[in-house]
Structure 1
Amino acid sequence: MVHKTLRIIPLVALLATSITVHADDVINRLDNQLSHIENTINGTQRTIRRSQNKYDNTQRTMTELKDGTYAEKSVGRAVKKKKRRAVNSLIHRSNNAIRKATNIY
């Protein structure tokens, strides 16, 4: 009786190991599939937000064209952007000048 039990123990251990490895593989596959689904959902949400922004911009442009304010607002936005870039450039140049003046070689 003891001899039969001892012969079965390696078989049971092999079966348990096989089940564990298979279960781990299944869990890894499920994790990969869930990650893929999450990435797909996030990409879809980004696409929806971009589409909504394009729609909003188009609606704003159409309203401005109807009101006759499109050119004025467009020029205003361009001037604002130009001023922002000029200020950022000035800050960048002054930071570089300070960095070069304080740098010891």
Structure 2
Amino acid sequence: FMELAKMLGGEYAVSKPLVDAGWFEKERQVGFSGNIVKPKVYLAFGISGAPQHIAGMKDSECVVAVNMDPSAPIAKYSDIFVVGDMYEVARRLLERLKVFKS
């Protein structure tokens, strides 16, 4: 996901559970208790759509979300919602971007 963010000229961010688990620093957290972001495009891989997270990204211009659960709350806030495996979708997107950039 970090490579994908870099290739797109963006930054990566995470949800509160990943910060709470100690995997990422709090500065990378999006949400009510983290950062409020308003990018042109917000890619949400595996984000369920907890209200605290939505509060941190709801003003993004375009939200593209990928989640295995077709009824995930993030779908209501997404301009594009993909039901699928976040790792597979990210991998395939990265492959296609590499082709376009070469």
TM-score (norm 1): 0.21
Larger radius of gyration: 1
Query: Larger RCO: Structure 1 or Structure 2 (Cα < 8 Å, ≥ 6 residues apart)?
Result: 2
TM-score by length of 2: 0.21
More helix, by proportion: 1
Which protein is richer in strand relative to its size?
2
